[in-house]
Structure 1
Amino acid sequence: MRSLILFLQQVNVEQKLKEAPDGQYQIGVLIGSFIPFIVLAAIAYALYYSAKKRD
C-alpha cells in the first residue's frame, strides 16, 4: 500500500517544464514543487520552537 502511494506521488518536474505551454506554467510548477518542503520546514520549526519554549 505504501509503495503504491509513493508511486502515485512521484512527479517528474523536468518533463512538466519541457512540456509547459508558457513561462507562467513553468513558474507554477516550480512553486508547486517547493510548497511541500516549505510546509514541512514550517511544521518542523514550530515543533522545535514549542519544544524549546517548554524547557
Structure 2
Amino acid sequence: MKSLLFLVQAANLEDKLKNAPDDSYQIGLIIGSFVPFIALVAIAYWMYYAAKKRENNP
C-alpha cells in the first residue's frame, strides 16, 4: 500500500516538474517535497535526544 502511494506521489511530482513555468517553480516544488521528511527527521532526533537526556539524569 505504501509503495503504491509513493509511486502515485512521484508521478505527480514528475508531471509538475515537466509542466513547470520556470526554474524557480521547480526548485520550490523540490524543496516543498522534502520539507515533511526533514520535519519528521527533526522531530525524531528531538525525541531521541530528550529520551537520552532523561536516561542519563536519574
Structure 1 length-normalised TM: 0.79
Q: Identity of paired residues, percent?
A: 64
Q: 1:1-55 residue pairs with structure 2 within 5 A? A: 11=9, 12-55=12-55
Q: How many residues align?
A: 47
Gaps of 5+ in 1: 1-6
Distance 1:22 1:38 in 2: 25
Let me know the Cα RMSD of the aligned residues: 1.2
More helix by share: 2
Distance 2:54 2:32 in 1: 34
The structure showing larger relative contact order (alpha-carbon pairs under 8 Å, at least 6 residues apart) is: 1
Runs of 4+ in 1 over 3 A off after TM superposition: none
